[in-house]
Structure 1
Amino acid sequence: MDSKNLGINTICTHVGEVKDEQFQGAISPLYMSSSYQYDGVDVKRYPRYFNTPNQEALGKKIAMLEKKEAGMIFGSGMAATSTTILAFLQKGDHIVLPKTLYGGTYNFVVEELHKFGIEHSFTKGFSEEDFLSAIQENTKVIFVETPSNPLMLITDLEMISSIARERGIVTMIDNTFASPVNQTPHDFGIDICIHSATKYMGGHSDICAGAVAASQEHMDKIWNIAKNLGGSLSDYTVWLLERSMKTMAIRVKAHNKNAKKMAKWLQKHELVQKVYYPGLKDHPDHDLAKKQMNGFTGMLSFELVAGIDTNAFMKKLKLIKQSMSLAGVESTILSPTHTSHALLSAEERAHQGINDGLLRFSVGIENKEDLIADFKQAFAAIATPELV
């Protein structure tokens, strides 16, 4: 069977399995050893070298999903992001990033890179002119995140890869919000794909992991620093992640369907001021999202009308959990001001368009009628005559 022509559900289910040669079990066996034979073997395996049987196998699944040559699994999304960025930058180099980023990535850039003598610039917007004006002679990397967290803004990947290729710049994307199910940046010329595998890849809010997919040449550079920084993942968690990824495509499609319906419902509610979801026709990047995405993800954000206490509203929800992180099968909601972007100052959040009335909603796979009913009772509980 030609693996290049496999469908995404088949890739999720079968690629990257560890064959059970001894007992012929239907799933990958788990190799928990932290010590392997080094003499007379083809591969000298060591957990920190990202090459135990389970680590190596799952890397192949990640690579095929992102249409890349190689993949690696890390201990967290930030371990994957920070290691990859540092692999391609050294003292005197420069990186360009969009103004809207996940708070952890933003904090890493502003707090850590200057310690290595690495410069950075945030673009004013997302247009070609914005990126071109931020590029300098010493720019070595362009890092993007699309859809963005939490405002669901879309970056033109074809444009990014074109301007980078002309200048010999390496391109990286945080593809977490889309997942490989909804978006394969390789199709648009992006060099390196990064994920918080904690999210849609894990999908059950019980795994913390990161992933990177790239060409073998780029992966060799990433591995060279990764083995020194030590951000590897335990084999038990690797095994759990491989199990979870078998259903990723099915789960993500269910998330997509629910999120689009919830976005439309929230958009019509009198206590909702604005909804951010690229699947809505009035989203400023809707046409671009249709061009480069296969689905619009299960993530959305919305702003409540002025005068509503967001924390009071969230506490009234009974089914939807007020919880950190995202992309589990259960629906969760949070305030970016107090969680994902808490490390940013109020001025920095305002610059990104994040205000205290913004809520990020990770839409789960529950029945949409039950999610709507939960919102209805929460809105009714906090509504006053002046607000309605």
Structure 2
Amino acid sequence: MVDSASDDRLETRLVHAGEPTPRADGAVAMPVFQSSTFTIDRARGEAGYHDLRYIRLNNTPNQLALAAKLAAIEGGEAALVTGSGMAAISTTLLSLLGAGDHLLAQRELYGGTHALLTDNLPRLGIGATFIDAGAPASWKAALRPTTRVLYVEAISNPLLRIGDLAAAASFARAHGLVSIIDATFATPVNLRPIDLGFDLVLHSATKYLNGHSDIVAGALIGRAVLVEKTKHLLDHLGGSLDPHACFLLQRGLKTLSLRVRHQSASALTLARFLEAHPAVAAVHYPGLESHPDHARARPWFSGFGGVLSFELRGGVEAADRLIARARLPLHAPSLGGPETLLTRPATASHAGLTPEDRARAGLPDALLRLCVGLEAPEDLLADLDQALR
């Protein structure tokens, strides 16, 4: 594999890191090794279980090349690819926590993660306390002798809040906790969590890392000892990523910087338009100076991503009319692809939460989430304008 030079910039690493050298039969693109198993090379001394190459063991050529690229672009010691973002989240937490253990997690979490922490982990004897990610002074009171992990998101979904990330990494280090951040919304283009001091970075690679709305995948990057511990459990749980999906994700990563910068710029343009529109009651986008976390987050972020949310003065009825009248945004969940997507989170990404949980999270039923794609921002703006009229 190609070693990514320490002075290579992100765009160069996205193209070259992890690619085989010499290139396989001269192929410029990484081939798909569509084989579930590989012969044992006795000349190299392969004999034990850990020397076998097998898809479930996450050590086949496509998996290894992709992991090397991910580690290089995040600045981590090691990386692991998984069958979905939730596979990355659940396997990581289960590798670090056991019966009787406890974790701290920010209050505003992706719905699937919240359900894992409140429905599944308690059945295994693992407890969670939810904290205000923007109030570091309150965290110490939530600690227990059994606390092992601090878990946050770079940008929350769907209200786009940003906690005190630097304080989170520092707090975890001071109290002997493993710090984990889900950086799906930020991507390595806009945020460098390992540089802030986080031990592990998680991604739903389904979203921006792949960028084409055609696979489901997850990724874990960070300290080698923790990645290896998670890999050992993943080998047994079986949440590996197949070779063709690895190929598509590796291909998608090469254009990550171009895509994310375009989407971030477009989202800021649309957020400013919506903020000034008389039909809009509120806009949530951390790139806006009016956002409550903008000033704190500005030193850490080079851009604020392609997701924004907003509320209309007409409530749920007006929100549903806008979804029906918009021409370009597709009414579908997910984010990070070339198509702009528009949903009402109460009926999509957070439909699994009870109304009471949504209320506690400050999530109005009428909130709309716009995940900006690669269309011309002028066309998207014009379409939103006609739909709002």
Same fold (TM > 0.5): yes
Aligned to 2:244: 236
* 2:5 corresponding residue in structure 1: 3
CA gap of 1:21–1:264, structure 2 versus 1, over 3 A, is closer
Distance 1:22 1:87, change over 3 A: closer
Shifted more, 339-348 versus 120-129: the winner is 120-129
Cα distance, 1:125 vs structure 2: 5.2
Map Cα deviations across residues 342-383 of structure 1 (whole Å, 9 max, x no partner): 110001001111111101111112111100111112112xxx
Q: Distance in 2 between matches of 1:358 and 1:21?
A: 49
1:130 CA displacement: 2.8
Q: CA RMSD in A?
A: 1.4
Report what 1:271 is aligned to. 279
2:343 equivalent in structure 1:
334
> What does residue 347 of structure 1 align with?
356
Q: Tell whether the 8 Å contact from 1:255 to 1:365 is kept in structure 2 after alignment.
A: yes
Deviation at 1:72, TM superposition (A): 0.7
Rounded Cα–Cα distance in structure 2 between residues aligned with 1:48 and 1:275? 44
Aligned equivalent of 2:233: 225
CA distance in 2, matches of 1:155, 1:31: 41
Letter in 2 for 1:262: L
Whole-angstrom CA distance in 1 between matches of 2:385 and 2:268 = 18
SS at match of 1:23: helix
Question: SS state of the match for residue 248, structure 2?
Answer: helix
Q: Who is 1:376 aligned against? A: 385
Q: 1:17 to 1:303 in 2, by over 3 A?
A: same
SS at match of 1:17: coil
Q: Structure 2 length as normaliser, TM-score?
A: 0.95
2:192 aligned with 1:184: yes
Other-structure match for 2:14: 12
Matches within 5 A, 1:31-42: 31-40=33-42, 41=44, 42=46
2:81 is aligned to 73
Give secondary structure in 2 for the equivalent of 1:201: coil
Separation of aligned partners in 1, 2:275 and 2:304: 16
Please give the alpha-carbon distance, in whole angstroms, between the structure 1 residues aligned to 2:228 and 2:4. Answer: 26
Q: Is the 8 A contact 1:18 1:29 kept in 2?
A: no
**Matched residue SS, 1:292:** coil
| Kept after mapping to 2: 8 A contact 1:18/1:54 | no
Alignment of 1:193-208 (within 5 A): 193-208=201-216
Question: Which residue is equivalent to 2:373?
Answer: 364
3-state secondary structure, aligned to 2:6: helix
2:155–2:161 Cα contact (<8 Å) kept: yes
In structure 1, give the amino acid aligned to 2:25. F
Q: How far apart are the structure 1 equivalents of 2:258 and 2:321? A: 34
Which residue pairs with 2:330 in the alignment?
A: 321
Q: Contact (CA 8 Å) 2:4, 2:13: kept in 1 or not?
A: no
1:131: Cα distance to partner? 2.1
Structure 1 residue 29, shift from structure 2 partner? 1.4
CA contact (8 A) 1:70 1:219 kept: yes
Q: Deviations for 1:48-78, whole angstroms, at most 9, x for unmatched residues?
A: 1111001011001111111101011101000
Question: 5+ unaligned residues in a row in structure 1: which ranges?
Answer: 381-388
In structure 2, relative to structure 1, the CA distance for the partners of 1:272 and 1:33 (3 Å cut) is same
* % identical equivalent positions: 41
Q: How many residues are aligned here?
A: 380
TM-score by length of 1: 0.95
Aligned partner of 1:384 in structure 2 is none
Instruction: Answer yes or no: is the 8 Å Cα contact 1:301–1:358 preserved in 2.
Output: yes
Q: What secondary structure, in the 3-state scheme, does the structure 2 residue paired with 1:110 have?
A: helix
| Structure 2 residue identity aligned to 1:340 | S
What amino acid sits opposite 1:126 in the alignment? Answer: G
Q: CA deviation at 1:226?
A: 0.8
What letter is aligned with 2:375? E
2-structure distance, mates of 1:2, 1:310: 47
